[in-house]
Amino acid sequence: MQTKYLALPGPTSVDNEVLKEMASEVFNHRGKEFSKILANLTAKTQQFLNTKNELHYLTASGTGAMECAIVNSFSKGDKVLALINGAFGQRYADIAKSYGLDVIEFYGKWGQSFDYDKLKETVENINDLAGITVIQGETSTGVVNDLKKISEIKNDKTLLIVDGISSIGAENIDIDGWGIDVVITGSQKVLALPPGLAIICLSKKALEAYRQSDLPKYYWDIGKYKKFTEIGQTPYTPAISLIKAAEKQIEKIANQGMDSEVKRHETIANMVREGIKALGLELFNEKGCRSNVVTPIKPPEGIKVSQIRKLMLDKYKVEVAGGQGKLKESVFRIGHLGNVDPLFVISVLTALEMSLIELGHNVKLGTAVTAAQKALCNSK
């Protein structure tokens, strides 16, 4: 296996104990054993998310959950305000447009948070606004958007639809307190599971919107999930092995608590950022809205993103991500989410230092590592 350190914004490394759960014998998903696992998993996930809202596990990627959120929340011709300051905000808008919704696109600058005063003015000038879509952790730019502010801007009739695919567990969120109507997340991010599972969580207001919705849906029909959940099943064949793995992993992080997970990710993210700044490199995202899950970095002048990524992977077995969309050749991204710890950061920064030196960047060996160590000590 070429990669030893997955420093990506997903997928993330999976603990061996969790992988062992996936290797156990497959069983009937219509039987009592599965029903018990699903009930426990659902309860533990609600505990971790600190919500009383209804939630369901989907056998899908995060994008599948995004589509599920759209088709169950709206009706033909509904006005939806899509908040876009990165590639995934645009994806939400594109999904909504594909179902014939009246999508109004509100743009922010990539690498920056939104102008919330301008957003408030925009919302107030839209009649019959059915919903707002937003990405909490925009991994393409490393920005975390302020859901509390957005929740205060929307009116009571407007649904707030949140993509928390990469951010849930790493960023602060109060689903019930902030009145978030639909939130989704994916298994391969902070939850540190293999890809293939998604979670959708819906408020009472969202479920009422579902009952009024006339958008086409079959696999994503949340009413079917609700009906089958009541008898301890899923409407279609689930990823049984992933569900078993999720039960073990969610139970562990639920017992630790959301606050503990967020704090750990904050500490790790700060180590990475301080290490990068010590190297004299420029962070792409602005201070004050930097995500705890990924750090986008501009390469030194004269060195290409592709050169950095290739050398780190080929020589040091460390895989970092490139940019997305228009940032493809402008930034490389270090992911620091899931099962990451301080020594993971030290290893990644060491590989980056040695790669940059080999590529001609003038930096003293150990600079980034020392800065990251100081950041860790100062966090305690």
The pLDDT score that the predictor gives to residue 326 is 87
How far is Cα 213 from Cα 77, in angstroms, rounded to an integer?
A: 11
How far is Cα 94 from Cα 75, in angstroms, rounded to an integer?
A: 16
Residue 275 contacts residue 371 (beta carbons within 8 Å):
yes
Which CATH superfamily includes the segment(s) 5-9+258-378? Aspartate Aminotransferase, domain 1 (3.90.1150.10)
The residue behind tokens 């088709």 is: 71
CATH code, residues 16-256: 3.40.640.10
DSSP 151-190: HHHS-TTSEEEEE-TTTBTTB---TTTTT--EEEEETTTT
How far is Cα 319 from Cα 313, in angstroms, rounded to an integer?
A: 5
- Angle in degrees, 0-180, between the axes of helices 342-358 and 305-316, rounded to the nearest 10: 120
Contacts of 20 (CB under 8 A, 6+ apart): none
Indicate where the chain has its CATH 3.40.640.10 domain(s).
16-256
Indicate where the chain has its CATH 3.90.1150.10 domain(s).
5-9+258-378
How far is Cα 296 from Cα 303, in angstroms, rounded to an integer?
A: 16
Kindly give the residue spans of alpha helices, DSSP state H, lying in 279-338.
Answer: 305-316
Instruction: Quote the pTM value.
Output: 0.96
The pLDDT score that the predictor gives to residue 379 is 87
Contacts of 84 (CB under 8 A, 6+ apart): 90, 92, 93, 105, 106, 107, 108
| Residues counted in the chain | 380
Reference 372, options 268, 298, 260; nearest CA is 268
**E strand or H helix at 129, and its extent?**
strand 129-135
Residue 191 contacts residue 253 (beta carbons within 8 Å):
yes
How far is Cα 153 from Cα 76, in angstroms, rounded to an integer?
A: 24
Reference 213, options 236, 234, 182; nearest CA is 182
How far is Cα 83 from Cα 106, in angstroms, rounded to an integer?
A: 5
Contacts of 111 (CB under 8 A, 6+ apart): 85, 141, 142, 143, 284, 285, 286, 296
Tell me the two tokens of residue 335: 């992911």
How far is Cα 116 from Cα 233, in angstroms, rounded to an integer?
A: 42
pLDDT per residue, tens digit, the chain (380 aa), is 467 899 999 999 999 999 999 998 999 999 999 999 999 999 999 999 999 999 999 999 999 999 999 999 999 999 999 999 999 999 999 999 999 999 999 999 999 999 999 999 999 999 999 999 999 999 999 999 999 999 999 999 999 999 999 999 999 999 999 999 999 999 999 999 999 999 999 999 999 999 999 999 999 999 999 999 999 999 999 999 999 999 999 999 998 899 999 999 999 999 999 999 999 999 999 999 999 999 999 999 999 999 999 999 999 999 999 999 889 889 999 999 999 999 999 999 999 999 999 999 999 999 999 999 999 999 87
**Binding residue per annotation — 211?**
no
